[in-house]
Amino acid sequence: MLEKYIEKELISEQEIKAQVKKLANIITEEHKDHDNVLLVGVLTGAFIFTSDLMRELDIPCVVDFISASSYGSGTESSGNVVIAKDIKESVRGKHVIICEELIDTGNTLQALKRWFARQEAESVKICALLNKEERRQVDIHSDYPVIEIPNEFVVGYGLDYAGKFRNYKCVCVLKKEVYEK
Ligand code: IMP
Ligand code: MG
Q: Which ligand is nearest to the CA of 111?
A: 1
71 lines ligand 1 (CB under 6 A): yes
Q: At what angle do helices 13-30 and 47-56 cross, to 10 degrees?
A: 60
Nearby residues of 137 by Cβ (< 8 Å), 6 or more positions away: 79, 105, 106, 107
Mutate to test the pocket of ligand 1, among 40, 104, 168 (most ligand atoms within 8 A of CB): 104
Task: Answer yes or no: 143 catalytic.
Answer: no
Ligand 1 pocket, 130 CB below 6 A? no
pTM of structure: 0.94
Distance between CA atoms of 119 and 11, rounded to whole angstroms?
36
Q: How confident is the model at residue 74 (pLDDT cuts 50, 70, 90)?
A: low
Q: From the CB of 52, is ligand 1 less than 6 Å away? A: no
Report pLDDT digits (tens) over 89-107: 999 999 999 999 999 999 9
> Closest-lying ligand to the alpha carbon of 163?
1
Distances (CA, A) of 170 to 14, 72, 114, 124, 148: 8, 23, 31, 28, 14
Q: How far apart are CA 148 and CA 62, in angstroms?
A: 28
Report percent pLDDT > 90 for the chain.
Answer: 86
Residues 6 or more apart in contact with residue 86 via CB below 8 angstroms: 66
From atom 5 of ligand 1, which residue's Cα is the shortest distance away?
A: 104
Least confident of 37-46, 62-71, 104-113: 62-71
Could you write out the DSSP letters of every residue in 69-106?
Answer: EEE-SSSSEEEEEEEEE--SS--TT-EEEEEEEEESSS
